[in-house]
Structure 1
Amino acid sequence: MSSSNRHSGEVRASHILIKHEGSRRKASWKDPEGYVIKNTTRESAVAQLKAMKEDIVSGKAIFEDIASRYSDCSSAKRGGDLG
């Protein structure tokens, strides 16, 4: 967070969303028919996210690149940036 954001009280957030068979809406921008989502278990989604986190924390990957490639949220087009 830049110093100007700290003083203005603004916060930014980013995320990576991996949908699964238990997701409320089983479609996404990258899987419009939900074929992959309907066949992804919650456990598999969690395992994928843990592996991504490990790669990001270790420096093997960049958050924005992972979000852009794997997130089911439309924010993927902005590297996971929610604003």
Structure 2
Amino acid sequence: MRTGSEPTTARSALRARFWLSVWGLVWSVFGTAAFALAGRPGWAAACGVLWLVVTVDMTVILHHIRQGPHYQPGPDIPPYRPPENPPR
């Protein structure tokens, strides 16, 4: 039985997101340095902005990882039933 709250209770794989952001960080740093050395300031700035976005994303991911596990019911626990009489 579906409750309709699945998108609000969904969880992401934080460690996979972390390693993908590390990969993005490495490439954005490399791209910024390579384009700066090649004399392409526009592309270097674009990679620098990407570097900033990846760093902020990594900070958020690390914050969520450090929060620790939150309670998530296992497969043996049935989903919550929707309320019979919703509050008005």
TM-score above 0.5, yes or no: no
Q: TM-score, normalised by structure 1?
A: 0.29
Larger Cα-atom Rg: 2
Larger helix fraction of residues: 2
